[in-house]
Amino acid sequence: MSGSLDEFAERLQEEIFQETKKTYGEAVFQRWLTPRFMGALPNADGKSKVTGKCGDTMEFYLKISNDKVEKALFWTDGCGSSTACGSMAAELAQGKAIDDLAEIDGEFILKKLGGLPKEEQHCAFLAAGALQEALRDYFERQRQKKE
Ligand code: FES
């Protein structure tokens, strides 16, 4: 009995995976399944917490040294698309010069993910906004240190 229930659950999961892959594409699917660079950095040099209009929250953490991103992590309580977008934003930020982080905007994240359905494109802008806000926080801390 439980064997057939397990088989049913496995089949259902496989169907959901296939459907998700078909709708969202491989890049989004992989990051939804196994997000990269997800977590928090307690000793971040810049961090942010941004809530989108949808009510979901994205956090971003940056460790910066010699004007380069040493480590970038994100966290979200949002949908699968926001997880994929946060993951992509964090991946793109790794090792980047801070002056080049501005190029990681919502459009760029969408392009790198191969797009998202229209109603979920705002997730990319939430991720980009959180990344840029963490960078702004970094600059603000630097400014305060100099005072
Ligand atoms: Fe709100 Fe994805 S971030 S629906």
By residue range, what is the domain housing residue 62?
A: 2-146
Could you tell me if residue 40 is left (phi over 0), alpha (psi between -120 and 50 degrees) or otherwise beta? beta
Residue 107 Cα, ligand 1 centroid: separation in angstroms? 15
Instruction: Quote the pLDDT of residue 46.
Output: 98
The tokens describing 29, both together, are 């699917």
* pTM over the 0.85 mark: yes
Ligand 1 nearest atom to the CA of residue 78, by list position: 3
Closest ligand 1 atom to residue 123 Cα is 3
**For position 1, what pLDDT does the model report?**
53
CA distance 109 to 92: 9
CB atoms within 10 A of CB 132: 18
- Predicted local distance difference test score (pLDDT) of residue 2: 65
Residue with tokens 């994929």: 84
Domain count within the chain: 1
CA distance 5 to 91: 38
What are the pLDDT tens digits along the chain (147 aa)?
Answer: 567 999 999 999 999 999 989 989 999 999 999 999 999 999 999 999 999 989 999 999 999 999 999 999 999 999 999 999 999 999 999 999 999 999 999 999 999 999 999 999 999 999 999 999 999 999 999 999 988
**Helix (H) or strand (E) segment spanning residue 62:** strand 57-65
Report the DSSP beta bridge partners of residue 71: 63
Q: Which CATH number fits the domain that encloses residue 13?
A: 3.90.1010.10
Ligand 1 centroid to residue 116 C-alpha, Å: 12
